[in-house]
Chain A
Amino acid sequence: MTCAEFKEMFELYSLGLLESDERDEIEEHLAGGCAECQSNFKSAMAVNALLMSTVTHANPPSRLKRRVLAGFGIERSGWGWLGLLAAAGMLVLALWLSVQERERSAELVNARRQIIQITSERDQLQQAFTFFGQPDTIQVNFGQGEPKPPRGNVLVNSRLGVLLIASNLPTLQPGKTFEMWVIPKGGSPRPAGIFPADAQGTAVHMLSGPIDPQGLGAVAVSIEPEAGSRTPTTVIFAAPVPGA
């Protein structure tokens, strides 16, 4: 074949489409160093590359890049994100369960406090009814006629003890509490227990146990540190008990 005839075949040769005898003849000629055919051969390869580069556009799936690169160990495979997502999901679930557990615990504590408070209030009401129902109970009113004083009743029963029902108690500073005192005639005040008041300044407090109404001079309430005191510090009222 001549160089002109070879020129007609270089595209097919570089696509691997020639018959074996034609291919062998071309390779033998190229190996001989023909400059014109070397140049034509490169031109044919350029034609092939250019023609292939004009192929109709197709979009590879985005996962294909991950897959190809995973083969070279430089990017996670397509399922890597799933593991991360699962781990993140588990973390979120654990956090959510933890928050739920805390909320449930807090609700439980609040519920228990409410039950204790309601039970305590019920017991106090029962005690008050019991005090009121006894014919030998001495009742003392205090704070009547004052502009904005603590007001209420002190009930004294020789068998049941002393019951204080007060309202208009002052608002306490943090770290302070109310404390009741029983003051014997001619004696020093004796502590009769600390107690809180509600937001409206109302409180019910009882000193249980036998007491001698004849020897009782007064019942007082003071403001004390949270743990209580052995002697009254700031007395807010004292109700004299007239005796039986």
Chain B
Amino acid sequence: MSLWRIILAGLAYSVLQVALRFKDDDDLVLRLKARDPQVMSKLYDRYGRLVYSIIFRVVRDAASAEDLVQETFLRIWNRAQSFDQQRGALGPWILTVARNRAIDHLRSLDGRMAAGALELDRIENPALFCNFEDRALTLDRARRIKEAFQKLAPHQKEVIELAYYQGLSQTEMAERLKQPLGTVKTWVRTALQVLREELSGAAVA
């Protein structure tokens, strides 16, 4: 492995460490719900870099990414009241809001708005991010899913990228890739199955 790849792996690992300190988030959630603005500084320190990375990965434009990061933290602040501090997983919620803000922006540029915005709004409802098992979001599982993703076939990687970072439905992927819908659905299903099984294996191990 070249030095450059080792450095990249180290950087990715540091991002993961930041992202997966979910169990330390209880205090942040309490202060967020108590409308303590100072907590936003700590929240940014913990998630700002990852939020920016996800958004930048989607929009590929630094200026837009900065706008969307600001929008993401504002949305977290405004919606924190309905977050369940006992059972909620703050990290996954923040990452989802960040990804959705970026996808929404991308869709507005592509003219793919309409019902899409409402759909994104529904799936980032704080109430959905409850009852995560503690073992579901560990550093080891993140590392394993990354490795599993790297092992996917190129066409499987591509559909996962299109789903997560382009916000394309399977029908839109089929159009983009000029492939039959059934083929695309198979690629998506197989890829997700590999990732899912990798996590199941990690849980068993």
Contacts and interface: CB of A to CB of B under 8 A. Distances in A.
Contacts, number: 163
Interface in B33-63: 37-38, 40-41, 44-45, 48-50, 52-54, 56-57, 62
Interface residues of B, number: 71
B15 interface: yes
Nearest to B195: A47
A29 to B, nearest CB: 15
A59 interface: yes
SS class, residues of chain B in contact with chain A:
helix
Contacts of B57: 55-56, 58
B66 A60 contact: yes
B167 A16 contact: yes
Contacts of B53: 55-58
Given A55-B54, A67-B70, A18 B169 contact: yes
A222 B92 CA distance: 100
Given A17-B170, A43-B199, A55-B54, A69 B137 contact: no
A46 B136 CA distance: 6
B167 A8 contact: no
B199 A64 contact: no
A11 interface: yes
Given A60-B69, A68-B44, A54 B192 contact: no
A146 to B, nearest CB: 88
Contacts of A18: 169
A46 B92 CA distance: 7
A45 B127 CA distance: 13
A1 to B, nearest CB: 13
Interface string B87-127: 00101100110011001000000000001100110110000
Nearest to B119: A16
Nearest to B92: A49
A19 to B, nearest CB: 7
A42 interface: yes
A46 B132 CA distance: 8
B133 interface: yes
B128 A14 contact: yes
Interface string A33-74: 000001000111111111111111111110011011101111
Contacts of B37: 72-74
Contacts of B168: 17
Interface in A57-110: 57-61, 64-65, 67-69, 71-75
Given A49-B91, A64-B66, A12 B41 contact: no
A54 B146 contact: yes
A105 to B, nearest CB: 51
Interface of B: 8, 11-12, 14-16, 19-20, 37-38, 40-41, 44-45, 48-50, 52-54, 56-57, 62, 65-66, 69-70, 73-74, 77, 89, 91-92, 95-96, 99-100, 103, 115-116, 119-120, 122-123, 128-129, 131-133, 136-137, 141-142, 145-146, 149, 160, 163-164, 167-171, 188-189, 192-193, 195-196, 199
What are the 10 closest A-B residue pairs judged by CB atoms, nearest first?
A49-B92, A53-B19, A60-B52, A46-B136, A54-B146, A16-B119, A57-B11, A72-B37, A58-B53, A58-B56
14 contacts: A12-B170, A14-B128, A15-B99, A16-B103, A16-B116, A17-B167, A17-B168, A19-B169, A43-B136, A47-B145, A49-B96, A51-B160, A53-B95, A74-B38
Given A46-B199, A69-B44, 4 more contacts: A12-B163, A17-B168, A45-B96, A49-B91
Interface of A: 8, 11-20, 23, 38, 42-61, 64-65, 67-69, 71-75
